[in-house]
Each structure stands twice: as C-alpha cells, then as structure tokens.
Chain A
Amino acid sequence: MLGKKGVYLLIILISSIILASCVGYIEISQLAIVTVTGIDLVGEKVLLTNEVIVPTDASGQKNDKGSSALYTQHEGDTIFEAIRNATLTFDRKLLYSHNEIIIFGEELAKRGIGQYINFFLYDNEPRESTFMLVAKDAKAYEVMGINEGLSSTFGMYLEQLIRNHKYTSKTRSLNISEYIKYFYQRKTPVLGVVQVKEKRIINPEDTLKGLNHRDVLDVEGGAVFYKDSLIGYYSGEEMIGFNFLVDEIKNSIIEFEVPDQLVDNDNKYAATKGKYTVLEIKDSKTKNTLEIKDGKPNLIIDVKLRGVIGEDSKGLDLRYLNVLKATEEACSNRIKDIIRKTMDKAQKDLKVDTFGIDTLFHSKYPKEWKEISNDWESIFTEISYDINVETYIVRTGLLDMPTNVEKGENNAK
C-alpha cells in the first residue's frame, strides 16, 4: 500500500527521530556533572563525596545558591551503591563522564584502594584518564571545597595544580590507567598527594572578618603504595629525585649552591650577596642500567640534562667557560644529592622499590629473576648504586652576571 518509496520514507523518518537523540534525551540542566570524587571509609561503609557543577542558565547566571559547585555525600557498601544512594537525597542522577579527579582519604588508602577503583573501570561513564590523589593526613572530604586559585571551582583548581607538576617535579600526576599499569608492573605505584595548608591573610576584607588565615591546597609530595596500600610519603625534594629516577622530569628547576671559591674574591657587591643559583631544566633523560657486581646487583643511574640559568645572586661570571663548567658540576652534584636522598628513603625507610628497578633486573637477567623475584624487596634494600649526572648549561638567560655585582675588569677565576 505504501509502495517502495513510502517504506524508505518511513524508515528515514523513524531513523531521524531515533538516531537524532530526540528520544531519551537529557538536558544539561537535568544532569549532576561530577568533577571530583572523594572516597573515605566510615566504619565498613564507603563515604563518597562529590563536587557537582551547578548548571547556569542561558545568561550565565548561577543558581539561587550562588556558587559554581556544590558537594554531596552518600554512603554505601560499594562505590556503585553509594552513587545510586545519592538519588535518595539528591535530586539529580550523578554523571561521572567529566570526573577528573578521585581523592582517597588517608585512612582508606592505608587499608587498600584496590577494591574501590573497579567501579571506575567497569562502568563506561568514568574516564580511565581520571587523576588519583591521596589526601595527606586527612579525609578526602576535608580537602574538598577549597579554592584559592583563579579557577571557578575546587575541581578545576585542583586539576590545574596537578597539571602544574611539570614546573616543579615535586609531585606527579597519575591516572587510573597508569596506576593499573604500574600496579601490575611494579606493585609499588606512587600517587600524587593533596593536603591543606594555611595561607597568610592578605586581603583586608578577610582581616575585617576576623580571619587569622585562609586554607590553600598543596600537592607537594608523593604517596607511596605497596600493592594497593599506602605505606608512606615522599617529600617534595624526594619527588624530584623520584622523577629523575623514573625519567619523568619535565620543565622543573634545580636550586644549587656553587662553591665559594668559584666566585671572584674581587667581586664588588653593589647589593647583598645571595646563596643560590637556579637552573631551569629544558630537557632531561635518565638511563638506568643494572649489572651484577660481585654477585650483587649494582644500579648505574645516568642522567643527562640541558638547562638555562634562571637566577643567580652569588656572583658567578658566566662569561668564562671554566666557571660555566664548574657551575654545571655543582648542579650535577646537587642532583646526585637529591637522587641519593630519594634512594635512601626508598631503601632504608620505605623498603620498597618504587622506581621499577625490578623491571630492569627482569629484563636483563630473566633467568636469575625467576629465582629472586619473590625476595626482591629485601634485595632492593641492599642494592648499591652509582649516579652519573651530566649537566649542560645551554643558555645563561639575558645576563652573564647577576646585577648585584658590579662588573669589573677581571671577575672570573
């Protein structure tokens, strides 16, 4: 009755309705977009804290509550139950496809996070690229809600802090997918941390309100896991060493002291003499090699980096190659110290190999690895190591001497 053309027309009409998402649509204002999830334990129950973006209307105005985000808390035996329980007290279904960060409370992290990340991998909504952090000395919800940046929400503020890791290397960013990869490869993943610190009052309005301080977030340091349980922390400086060892140094800086004899005694200081020189790293490459020496594994850490002098106030005259080379050596020695401190922390304090040296051993000595793999952590604590650092200063910035020194005729030694 319809004819061939009629049938085709009908199919096109039905398809245009079904495939254009005109059925089962959800308006953005109907969604509760989660940007950060905090996970804690309350007894044996999971306590889930979510930052939810408050939808704005067409004119960009915020809702009655006046804030860009609000926080919801829900409990359950599992993550999924806690999320679904949210619909009992919160008027929207939580949407996790824009969740950028998962924060684990310290107590939960110490008990093991393995069972709590499965939801984020089973479900297709959360992304595998979601960052993971540990709330140092705190519950996850205690660090949430603080925003002392330019970002409009806590989530965006924290995400930006994580992405800033390349400027200092005093922390690291690790997402769920990388966590799983390193968990199976090394059993000792290192996650980023977040903690609350106090900031001095600057704004006069705060003083008028009677505030003594404001809270600010700090992501310095790293949380060390053995299997899936938190066993300790690396400090910010130790994280620089860690990042050198795992070859994840990006655009960070190294602050070091050059020997006093490198500075010309005849230097006329027009202003106060400083202590440090700073190198901004442009690129860095670490190559770790393992060899068995006298029946014991010996690690050779070769670091090569190129950088630019970013600051000096001690009075170095970098017009002379011998000064430049001596400065490079001083920088190399500083990096050696940092790496040594990190190795000491891992070997003597944490007693776990967080650098993937086991993978090196496995690759180079596969037969021997089968015999010692179960005993690796105790072998790791006894490993000897040699550190070789080659620093190349490729630029000296816009100055060849600091301005607190008056330039004489013969400044360099």
Chain B
Amino acid sequence: MQNEKIPTRQLFGLLIVARLSFSISSILALHVPPHNQDQWVMVIVACLYIAISSMPILFLANRINKDTVKGFVTSIYGRPLSRLMGVLYLIYFIILTIDAIILQTELVTTSILPESSNYLITTLMLMVCIYMTSRGVIVILRSVDLLIPVIYSILFVLIVLGINNVDFSLFLPILSDSTINDINKGALILSTLYNDIIIIAMLVPELKNKNISTRVFFGSLITNMIILNIVIIITQGALGIEYARHSLFPFLIYVRLINLARIVERIAAVFVVMWLLTITFRINILLYLATKILRDIFNKGEDDKLCLFIVSTIVWIVSIGITVMRPVVGTRNDLNNYLAIIFVIYIIIIPLITCMIFLFRRKSISGAKNQK
C-alpha cells in the first residue's frame, strides 16, 4: 500500500470534505465585514485573494512534483535549514490540528453531549483519528472517497428540509449597504483562514498525476466557496442577518429549526454525525502531515509509530488543556488574528522566500540533481 499513489479525485474529495467542516460549523465568513446581506459577495471576492495568497506555494507545489517534499526543501535550503523548516511546519500543522479538535469538542459538547466530559470527548475522538492516521494516507483518502456521497447527501437533504424557513427578501438590496472597503477587508480576513493549499503541496509527491495540483486547487477552491455561499445564504435567510452573526453554530440552528409537518424534526444529531465525519477527515489529514514532517526530520519511514505517538500526545495534551480552560469558538475574533499572522508567515512569507531562493539557485539546484 505504501507504493500506491493518490488519485486526483480522492485528493479533491478530501479538500472539499475537510473545508466543509468549517463551512457548516462556526461559519467564520459570517463574522467578518461587511456584516450584512452582502456576505456572499465578500466570499466571491475572497476567492481572488485566496488565489493570490496561495500562488507561492502553488508555484512550489508544481516544482516539487518530481521530488519528495523533504528532498525539495533540502535542495533549496541545505540540510540544517531544511530541518528548521520542518520544525516550523510541524508546529504549524500541530496548531491546525489542535484548532480542529477544539472546534470538534466544542460543537459536540454544545449540541448533543452537554453533560459529557471534555476529556472523554477529546480522547475518544483523537483515538479514532490516531487509528485512521496510523493506517496511512491511502486509507484516509479511500475513506473520504467512500463517505463523500453520504456526507453530501445528508447536507443536501438538510438544506432542502429547512428551505421553507428561508426568507430570501432579506438579501435585498444587494451591494447598497456595503462599501468596497468593507467587502475587501472581509475577503482579506477570510482568505487568511483558507490554508488548503498547504495540504495539496504536501501531498503532491503522492499523487498519481503530479501535474494537476493547480487544477485540484482551483477546482476545490471554487467548489468550497460555492458550498460556503449556499450555507451562508440559507442560514442568513432562515435566522436573519443578525441572529446568524450572534450564533456560534448557525447551521446547527438552521437544522434545529427544521420541522416538516411535525414528522421530520429534532434531527440535529444527524447533522452532528455528518459534521463529525468531515472534521474527523480534516484532523486525520492534518495529523498525518504533522507526523510525516516529524518522520522526515528524524529520517523515519512510514511504518514508524513513535512519531505519530509524539504528535498525538502533544495535540491531546494541548487540546484538553485549552478545552477545559476556556471557550475558543466564542472568542474566535482574537484567535483569528493569531491564525492570520500564522497564515501570513507560513503560507505567504516562508514560501515566497523559498520561491525567491529557488529562482536564484535554479541552475545550481538542477545541476546538483543532474550530478546525482
């Protein structure tokens, strides 16, 4: 299984499922300017910023395709600096994993298991994720392939069942209450939360067709933004612009409002199960990539379980430490500022520097490779 390569379809599926976990939970796009009925316009503008900010990594991803990530980074920075890069990105992936686990724990404790201990929920969820991660990326992606129809069917059914609560007149007038500055500001903030390009870059060497990363990125970006816009429109239409902003999990409220002839009601648990699948895949892939980086730092192979144990233990301790101390989703404004800084460093600055070094040293790098 180790020599198996990832079909493009599976990577595409992973990217839209992993992003869905955010699109139907805290819906960060509702909490950025312009804070009105034009949020969907802001999301469209955000696509442009996401595309621009992802360019450096996308450029590098297209160059990695004949090498491994480790080999590529080492050829640019040399061995000692490449290890430092490894440590930096290890921290980045651990932060992203912790963020996803905290979101998972908070939604579950808020929605269906309010009396259950955070320790128990976090531990059980992490155990599932560790097991899947330990089986390797091929298993994770095959599971995605298998469950995507289930996830999207449930999402579609939930949207349709609640559509009678949506008041589309709330979306008028279009673009009259927002300024260009507001929309751009919101789009910029939103773009700093979209870091899927790093997943593509890390998995490029494992792809069957390595020349397709640009198409996968733009395809998943557009798909994700369409889904996000559908979710934004129906939640704003059902809850109203302000209530959707007040709510921590607006789509959960949308589902709780479903009541068809008093037969189909109280189906929030269906939504939570579907959402758990999406966030589990996100955690799996982030945990896998963090483990992969640690293995690369210590020159360990895919079979090594110690690195997975180390990464999982760090994630477990920090996640529990945070979830028992304070709410994270509720205080997301501050957290998003930190995540934006981290995004700029990891997705823009470091890759930009790497691109520049690559371009300056292109001849010597290709010369060294040819000698090998």
List the interface of chain A (C-beta within 8 A of B): 11, 15, 18, 24, 121, 124-125, 127-129, 177, 180-182, 184-185, 359, 362-364, 366-367
| Measured CA separation A15–B123 after assembly (Å) | 12
Do B176 and A185 have beta carbons less than 8 Å apart? no
Are B173 and A185 in touch, CB under 8 angstroms?
no
A181 pairs with B256, CB closer than 8 A? no
B109 nearest in chain A by CB position: A124
Q: Are B253's CB and A128's CB within 8 A?
A: yes
B240 at the interface (CB under 8 A from A): yes
Using CB atoms, name the residue of chain B closest to A365. Answer: B173
Is A367 touching B176 in the complex (CB atoms < 8 A)?
yes
- Return chain A residues, CB-CB under 8 Å to B253: 128, 177
Question: Which A residue's beta carbon lies closest to that of B259?
Answer: A129
Decide: B240 and A185 in contact? CB cutoff 8 A.
yes
**B176 / chain A contacts, CB cutoff of 8 Å:** 366-367
Which residues in B have their C-beta under 8 angstroms from that of A363?
169, 172-173
Give 5 closest A-B pairs by Cβ, nearest first: A366-B176, A181-B240, A363-B172, A184-B242, A366-B173
Name the distance in Å between A251's Cβ and chain B's nearest Cβ.
Answer: 15
Find chain B residues with CB under 8 A from A18 CB.
120, 124
Alpha-carbon distance between A366 and B173 when the two chains are bound, in angstroms:
7
Count of A-B residue pairs with CB < 8 Å: 54
**Are A184 and B240 touching (Cβ within 8 A)?**
yes
Q: Which residues of B (90-149) have their CB < 8 Å from a CB of A?
A: 110-111, 114-116, 120, 124, 127
B227 within 8 Å of A by Cβ?
Answer: no
B173 and A180 form a contact (CB under 8 A): no
The reply to whether B242 and A129 form a contact with Cβ atoms under 8 Å apart is no
Q: Which residues of A contact B256 (CB under 8 A)?
A: 127-129
- Bound Cα distance from A363 to B176, whole angstroms: 9
Query: What's the Cα separation between A18 and B242 when bound, in Å?
Result: 39
Question: Which residue of chain A lies nearest to B262 when distances are taken between CB atoms in the complex?
Answer: A163
List which B169-204 residues lie within 8 A (CB) of chain A. 169-170, 172-173, 176-177
Residue of B at shortest CB range from A8?
A: B131
Complex-state Cα separation, A184 to B240, whole angstroms = 8
Q: Which A-chain residue is minimally distant from B242 (CB atoms)?
A: A184
Chain A residues near B296: list those with CB within 8 A: none
Distance (whole angstroms) from the CB of A180 to the closest CB of chain B: 5
A362 to B124, CA, bound (A): 51
Size of the chain B interface, CB-CB below 8 angstroms: 28
The answer to the question of B239 belonging to the interface, with a C-beta cut-off of 8 Å to chain A, is yes
Say if the beta carbon of B241 comes within 8 Å of chain A: yes
A56 smallest CB distance to B (angstroms): 22
Closest-by-CB residue of A relative to B169 is: A359
Q: Are B124 and A180 in contact (CB under 8 A)?
A: no
Known: A128-B253, A184-B242, A364-B173. 6 other contacts (CB 8 A): A121-B246, A125-B114, A181-B240, A184-B240, A185-B241, A366-B177
Known: A124-B111, A124-B114, A129-B259. A181 touches B239 (CB 8 A): yes
Contacting pair A184 B124 (CB below 8 A): no
Give the interface of B toward A (CB within 8 A): 110-111, 114-116, 120, 124, 127, 165, 167, 169-170, 172-173, 176-177, 238-243, 246, 253, 256-257, 259, 265
| B165 CB contacts on chain A under 8 angstroms | 177
CA distance A18 to B117 in the complex (A): 11
Residue from B110, B115, B167, B242 in contact with A180 in the complex, judged by beta carbons closer than 8 Å? B242
Chain A residue at minimum C-beta to C-beta distance from B249: A124
In whole Å, how far is B104's beta carbon from the nearest beta carbon of chain A?
16
User: How close is B129's CB to chain A, nearest CB, in angstroms?
Assistant: 14
Complex: A180 Cα to B239 Cα, angstroms: 8
The residue from B110, B120, B257 contacting A129, defined by CB atoms under 8 A apart: B257
Q: How far is the CB of A151 from chain B (nearest CB, A)?
A: 14
A11–B170 CA distance with the chains assembled, in angstroms: 50
CB distance from B159 to the nearest CB of A (A): 17
Give chain A residues whose Cβ lies under 8 Å from the Cβ of B240: 180-182, 184-185
Chain A residue contacts of B169, Cβ below 8 A:
359, 363
13 contacts between A and B (CB under 8 A): A11-B127, A18-B120, A24-B116, A124-B114, A125-B114, A127-B256, A128-B253, A128-B256, A177-B257, A180-B239, A180-B243, A366-B176, A366-B177
Chain B positions within 8 Å of A24 at CB level: 115-116
Q: Which residues of B contact A15 (CB under 8 A)?
A: 124
Q: Identify A184's interface contact among B114, B177, B243, CB under 8 A.
A: B243
Write the chain A residue with the least CB distance to B171: A363
Whether B241 pairs with A184 at a CB distance below 8 angstroms is yes
Chain A residues within 8 Å of B120, by CB: 18
Q: In angstroms, how far is the closest chain B Cβ from the Cβ of A308?
A: 23
Residue of B whose beta carbon sits closest to that of A363: B172
Q: Are B257's CB and A362's CB within 8 A?
A: no
* Complex Cα spacing A370 to B120, Å: 52
Interface pair B243/A181, CB less than 8 Å apart: yes
Minimum distance in angstroms from A323 CB to a CB of chain B: 38
Docked complex Cα distance between A362 and B177 (Å): 10
The CA-CA distance from A180 to B165 in the complex, in Å, is 13
* Chain B positions within 8 Å of A177 at CB level: 165, 238-239, 243, 253, 257
- List chain A residues, Cβ under 8 A from B115: 24
In the assembled complex, the CB of B107 is this many whole angstroms from the nearest CB of chain A, namely 11
Give the shortest distance, in Å, between A74 (CB) and chain B (any CB).
22
B contact residues around A184 at 8 Å (CB):
240-243
Complex Cα–Cα for A11 and B173 (A): 56
Give the chain B neighbours of A127 by CB distance below 8 A: 256
A185's partner among B111, B124, B170 (CB-CB below 8 A) is: B170
Closest B-chain residue to A362, C-beta based?
A: B173
Chain B nearest CB, measured from A34 CB (Å): 16
